[in-house]
Amino acid sequence: MTYQEIFIQIISEVSGKSKQETGELLSAFRKTHPGGKWDTPIPDKDAEKLLNDLRGEAPGILAWLIKSAMDIAGHTGTA
């Protein structure tokens, strides 16, 4: 697995959105914010541990998603 695959998996699980929709959003993000370790492979054992750790943080991740959506919704585009 890669960091991208793990991100898509956990955000899909937490949000209830499909992996395809989550992947499309990440793809759009990556176009405007290039770089990072998204494509770095992670050994299976480490990937499974990371996924399990993130699943344990699901309530916090969901709160982060909700806050981010609210911040975006309230953004007027003016400084």
Predicted pLDDT at 36: 94
DSSP 5-73: HHHHHHHHHHH---HHHHHHHHHHHHHHS--SSTT-B--HHHHHHHHHHHHHTHHHHHHHHHHHHHHHH
pTM score, whole prediction:
0.85
Predicted pLDDT at 76: 55
Residue 73 confidence class, pLDDT cut points 50, 70, 90: confident
Residue type, 42: I
Residue 77 in this model has a pLDDT that exceeds 70: no
pLDDT in tens, 20-70: 999 999 999 999 999 999 999 999 999 999 999 999 999 999 999 999 889
Predicted pLDDT at 78: 52
